[in-house]
Amino acid sequence: MYGAGLSPALPLHAADRRTSPLAALIERYCPDDGHRETQVPGLDLFRASDAGSPVCGVYRPVLAVIAQGCKRIGLGDETYVYDSQHCLVSAVDLPVTAQIVGASRERPYLCAVIELDPRRIADVALAMDLPRPAPAAPRGLGVSPLTPAVADAVLRLVQLLETPEDIPFLAPLIERELLYRLLAGEQGLRLRALATADSQSQRTARAMEWIRHHYHLPLSIDALAETANMSKSSLHHHFKALTAMSPLQYQKQIRLQEARRILLTEDADAATVARRVGYESPSQFSREYRRQFGAPPLRDIARLR
């Protein structure tokens, strides 16, 4: 974990110089603040000109490489901070709180995010003949130093935007190289644990997937353990290890974030949305929503709009 005391005003270290061509490319292909999908499958670009407020969302399995700026991630009670000298890997869908803490109009926050496919990770791991990971589940999200090899592969993937005709042939090759570099490095155990068939991490991920698709239903730990083919105690232990939260806490995070999405995109009142996401008590929903997002539902949505 990279310490939360990192200052957003960072000197230009070797890693900053290494990622400066990446920063130039992101500025070219993502000239306005926000998120942009690209022609390269699984590659998204992000830009922000100021350090905004914390934003809650679900991180899918991705590699995130910051070319310029700094970001803070909250997972459960843990905090991760990364910049152009570090990369973030999320191996499972995790509800997090994210905040850009290093950005300005002169030096905007610039980031490349590459989607990670567990099946392709498994294929590369098998080709590398890597040993089966230990039974203990690693955390599903981690920050590590950005190596020159990973930085170079990410840069070459983004450079394909300049020659779109090369994307169908070269993008899969660069992606495979990138997975090889990640599996051989500090993040390898985290990725292998989720890609290894019938591992404790993969079983726990099945339980997480069930919650994401049935978040509106009452949560039975017995049924969830049966879905994951684990004992209740083993499920709770590995779920906490992987996500930094219990299954009930995970469900609550998913419910609240889905409620916020519905309120923002549909014409529905808070009581109706509370019932849709599984709350029997609108007052409990309002209390938990306020603790999560800092304001009651209607005030929060008005602020977002």
- Residue 243 · residue 92 · CB < 8 Å: yes
Task: Tell whether the model's pLDDT for residue 2 goes beyond 80.
Answer: no
Sign, CA dihedral 237-238-240-246, equals negative
Averaged over 171-197, what is the pLDDT? 90
Comparison of pLDDT for 147 and 197, the residue scoring more: 147
Share of the chain above pLDDT 90, in %: 73
What's the pTM value of the predicted model, to 2 decimals? 0.85
Residue 196: per-residue pLDDT: 75
Identify the structural domains of the chain with CATH numbers, from first to last: 14-194 (2.60.120.280), 198-305 (1.10.10.60)
* Band (197; pLDDT cuts 50, 70, 90): low
Write the DSSP assignment of 242-286 as a string of letters. HHSS-HHHHHHHHHHHHHHHHHHHS---HHHHHHHTT-S-HHHHH
Comparison of pLDDT for 18 and 232, the residue scoring more: 232
